Amino acid sequence: MTPARHLPDGFLWGASTAAHQIEGNNTNSDWWLFEHTENPYIKEPSGDACDSYHRWPEDMDLLAELGFTDYRFSIEWARIEPAPGEFSQAAIAHYRRMVEGAHERGLRPLVTLHHFTAPRWFMERGGWASAGSDELFARYLTAAAPVYATDVTYACTINEPNMLTSMATLQKAHLAGSQIPTFGPTVPDGATTEALLRAHGRAVETVKSIAPHVRCGWSIANQVYQPLPGAEDVAAAVRYPREDVFLEAARGDDWLGVQSYTRTRVGHDGPLPAPPEVEHTLMGWEYYPRALGEALRHSAAVAPGVPLIVTENGIATADDTRRIHYTADALDSLADAMDDGVDVRGYFHWSALDNYEWGRYTPTFGLIAVDRETFARTPKASAAWLGATGRTRTLPLAPRSKQTT
């Protein structure tokens, strides 16, 4: 049995959510429009989602009762700025109440300022790749300042910008009527990449000018690219535009978010799908929990000296026992990285709730189940198991899982 490992003082211990995936009826967003446009990617619309726009106090109550000390949630640009230059004070007050509500329950909020979705009008003018997108983002952040200017220590400017660049490529292909392979090296949209790099820089400047105490960073989806023998150069060429360019942009930030779920093997022709003989999650990804430690080590190597926070890590499964096994192995790899000197300041599990996974509800990542009709919340065994660490400050143990190498 692995000896118990204790977390350092101040270590963030929480779960994550994203506004569009849990709030429901985000009707003015680009994703709502996408969900209601004929396309092959959407199996079902988000609809009411988890109704967390109204039920967020219950969500926070559960997380606090379970033992978590931190909560990562996002605010929704489409609600705050429903039309260009028109800002909803009611929406701003809503998210401000969430910040205050978190503190009332003993939860420290980590606020994400953009998690995939944007206002419909922003998309209609060309999205991130259009001229002046960084200025519009900064304008929104200035208006939203009452949400984060006090009682917020950590702010994530943009969630997974590297995924946004691939999504932009897919969207362009869809609009052009092109066929996209079910698996393959989706080439990031270069204009979107450059725009997001600018937007992140402007966002940090904007937040710091308003609230200098807020520690700013962004979160990157780390794919843990593992080259087959002789494919090292191919893996490096694949990884740079999809990951490392965004990690490099974080070198001057207060912290860097690491998001990890699985690994990606790379052959001579590029990324390879998970082989059929390995265990797959409900996302179709390989069950490979120790990707987390590898993701942390890689991020630390590309952005040396920048503190790391695991802003997402989890598994889509209907078997909660496998969730516990997966998370135990992932946390073991995190502890190994910390033992080797990687500066990790926190861990947020994805996700607090079973929610809308960008086109469907089938992949269940949540620590808490949500009834799709009544919205009743039911914590799973994994929630109590993982939440207890918030009280004990000792990483939980579980039986070692199946072979994961």
Question: What pLDDT score does 187 carry?
Answer: 81
Q: Are 316 and 351 in contact (CB under 8 A)?
A: no
* 3-state DSSP assignment of residue 348: strand
User: Taking the chain, what is the end-to-end CA distance rounded to the nearest angstrom?
Assistant: 19
Question: What pLDDT score does 192 carry?
Answer: 96
- State the Cα–Cα distance between residues 405 and 402, nearest whole angstrom: 9
Domain ranges for the chain: 12-392
Question: What pLDDT score does 177 carry?
Answer: 65
Nearest to 293 by CA among 242, 250, 331, 341: 331
- State the Cα–Cα distance between residues 366 and 346, nearest whole angstrom: 19
Can you read off the two tokens belonging to residue 291?
Answer: 């990707």
Q: Are 312 and 305 in contact (CB under 8 A)?
A: no
Q: Which superfamily does 12-392 belong to?
A: Glycosidases (3.20.20.80)
- State the Cα–Cα distance between residues 184 and 63, nearest whole angstrom: 37
Q: Are 266 and 235 in contact (CB under 8 A)?
A: yes
Q: Give 64-92 pLDDT, tens digit per residue.
A: 999 999 999 999 999 999 999 999 999 99
Question: What pLDDT score does 2 carry?
Answer: 59
Question: What pLDDT score does 254 carry?
Answer: 98
Question: What pLDDT score does 176 carry?
Answer: 63
Query: pLDDT below 50 — which residues of the chain?
Result: 181-185, 401-405
Report how far apart, in Å, the C-alpha atoms of 53 and of each of 143, 396, 397 are.
20, 31, 34
- State the Cα–Cα distance between residues 351 and 58, nearest whole angstrom: 15
- State the Cα–Cα distance between residues 201 and 334, nearest whole angstrom: 29
User: What letter does residue 213 receive in the DSSP assignment?
Assistant: T
Q: Are 204 and 253 in contact (CB under 8 A)?
A: yes
Angle in degrees, 0-180, between the axes of helices 161-176 and 190-210, rounded to the nearest 10: 140
Neighbouring CB atoms inside 10 A of 145's CB total: 16
Q: Tokens 């001579």 appear where?
A: 268
